[in-house]
Amino acid sequence: MATQSPSPTGPDLTEGVTLADFAGGQMLRGHVGKKSVLLVRLGDEVLAVGAKCTHYQGPLDRGIVVGETLRCPLHHACFSLRTGEALAAPAFDPLPCWQVEHENGRIRVRERLPAATPAPQKAPPDQPQDIVILGGGAAGFAAAEMLRRRGYPGRLTILGAEADPPCDRPNLSKDFLAGTAPESWMPLKPADFYKEQSIGLRLGVTVTAIDTAARELALADGSRIGFDRLLIATGAEPVRLPIPGADLPHVFTLRSFADSRAIGAVAAQARSAVVLGSGFIGLEAAAALRARGLGVHVVSRDERPLEKVLGSELGDFIRHLHEEHGVTFHMQDSITAITPDRVTLATGASIDADLVIIGIGVRPRTALAEAAGLDTDHGILVDARLETSCPGIFAAGDVARWPGGPGGAGMRVEHWVVAERQGQVAAQNMLGTSQPFRDAPFFWSKHYDVSFRYVGHAAGWDDSRIEGDIAARNATVSYLKDGQVLAVATIGRDRVALEQGQRLSGGRQDGR
Ligand SMILES: Cc1cc2nc3c(=O)[nH]c(=O)nc-3n(C[C@H](O)[C@H](O)[C@H](O)COP(=O)(O)OP(=O)(O)OC[C@H]3O[C@@H](n4cnc5c(N)ncnc54)[C@H](O)[C@@H]3O)c2cc1C
């Protein structure tokens, strides 16, 4: 994604700084020419890396150092401080690194180092020759990228039902829908990437069956494609509403790039919108439509927006935030019928709407796995290595239920970074490693100028604690069960979210 870069700040690092300039901290941001560069102390050593995250340009000096890794405060990308490698999503491109010299007590940054070649993985005796990834979304893309990064030389194919290449799906309900991000920001990589990496990206292709015995996939056009390893990364699909008018052309769900484009096109002509559902996607869409100047009504069965995930205090805050921006809520209500210019509510009221978005949740796309006889339970069941009940077939992302959570009870979430990181872990396990997926779940959400970060997973809690001031947009909310913190949400405290995520991931140092 491209953004405007302001002029770099801080000292000119080619002229040198001293340890005293770190003022007791571990990081010091300065510049080399026009590039922002971060000095990081690791014991007696000082390393120099790019100061901006390669994902969304996040300020890495506001992140945290864990072992020899650096974590971005915005979306928790993890980089190696020694090589710059983007060890864990959502960043994929490495940070630049510079030579550092110590001279008479001064620390000077010298020439930029050549980009390090990521370490290839040792080929296992049964090295796969033909890997197929079913799904061209977050998990599928991240897996393909990691397979090539780790030196997998064989055939690699992504099959995706959408017509667009893997894209920045979270942006579909944010800046892109608001009309403030151009289309060119949306692809995760340009088309050349797939050619250069010899990744067969087949778009607009629907898989209709998985034949586990023949190790083949059946495609909607009648053809078949073989594999010796398969990653199922089919994601989740929006729940539809079986009411009169739900199939009218101005009624949408929001999952794909095509959905967001189509909503944007209708919004450009529309005056009033109704969003059904007060979850993250519905509310982000509401904010984006307000940014376009539409009148927006949110209709929801719940008492408060997002209460089941964030609790009543944050739920009230979010409602007020949206109301301040002109959104009208109809809580504990539903839609019973839609016509071309109005919706009727269960309570009998009717609201003008020339655009309707149904955002009432998603279901994991498990049908292919179920029909193939793989173990499923509200998700495809995988082991800690993300392998399904059929050896050589892995699953990752929104569709996978992995043995996480308290006591390994099992967890399935719908989070961008989890999907990408699971794709990365599954890729390496396909190549013969035995890495468990152990990251604490993390997601973020943005409404107007307020961003939330959430780490961990609390399906239910018996106690919650608030530190700081939610109304002042500077707060941490912890969700506890039996005295144990299961999850933490923050506003205006990005570093706390990083630290808590690290703690909930078991304090691991390696970022892998
Ligand atoms: C609008 C929106 C905003 C979001 N915002 C955030 C956010 O702010 N923060 C956050 O953490 N998460 C967010 N999410 C959630 C996040 O995008 C998902 O968790 C993530 O995309 C899941 O990745 P995935 O690879 O499992 O599935 P997806 O990215 O959905 O990819 C699944 C792919 O599989 C393909 N597919 C499915 N079935 C078939 C088939 N039979 N044949 C061929 N291809 C098939 C689909 O076409 C798709 O390309 C958002 C989601 C949406 C929709």
Does any domain span residue 85? yes
- Count of positions (residues) in the chain: 512
pTM over 0.95: yes
Residue 387, domain CATH? 3.50.50.60
* 443 alpha carbon – ligand 1 mean position (Å): 13
Q: Look at the chain and report how many structural domains it folds into.
A: 4
Spell out the per-residue pLDDT of the chain, length 512, in tens: 444 556 788 999 999 999 999 999 999 999 999 999 999 999 999 999 999 999 999 999 999 999 999 999 999 999 999 999 999 999 999 999 999 999 999 999 999 999 888 878 788 888 899 999 999 999 999 999 999 999 999 999 999 999 999 999 999 999 999 999 999 999 999 999 999 999 999 999 999 999 999 999 999 999 999 999 999 999 999 999 999 999 999 999 999 999 999 999 999 999 999 999 999 999 999 999 999 999 999 999 999 999 999 999 999 999 999 999 999 999 999 999 999 999 999 999 999 999 999 999 999 999 999 999 999 999 999 999 999 999 999 999 999 999 988 777 899 999 999 999 999 999 999 999 999 999 999 999 999 999 999 999 998 999 999 999 999 999 999 999 999 999 999 999 999 999 999 999 887 666 55
Q: Is residue 3 part of a domain?
A: no
Is 2 domain-assigned? no
What is the sign of the dihedral through the CA atoms of 393, 394, 398 and 401? Answer: positive
Q: Give the helix, strand, coil percentages of the chain, each rounded to 5.
A: 25, 35, 45
Nearest residue to 251 via CA among 318, 341, 165:
341
Does 471 map to a domain?
yes
Q: Could you tell me if 230 and 244 lie in one domain?
A: no
Strand order in the sheet with 97-103: 27-32, 35-42, 45-50, 97-103, 106-112
**Ligand 1 centroid to 40 CA: how many Å?**
35
Could you tell me if residue 442 is inside a domain?
no
378 lies in some domain? yes
Q: Is residue 439 part of a domain?
A: no
Same domain? 172 vs 205:
yes
Tell whether 232 and 367 lie within a shared domain. yes
Pocket of ligand 1 (CB under 6 A): 134-140, 159-162, 169-170, 172-173, 205-207, 233-235, 254-255, 281, 365, 368, 397-399, 414-417, 419, 443-445
Q: How far is the CA of 434 from the centre of ligand 1 (A)?
A: 26
From the list 261, 178, 89, 185, the residue with the least C-alpha distance to 449 is 178
Last residue of a domain, one of 345, 360, 375: 360
Are residues 138 and 285 located together in one domain of the fold? no
Residue 273's domain spans which residues?
240-360
Distance in Å, CA 202 to ligand 1 centroid: 17
| 249 and 272 assigned to the same domain | yes
Give the closest residue (by CA) to ligand 1 atom 7: 170
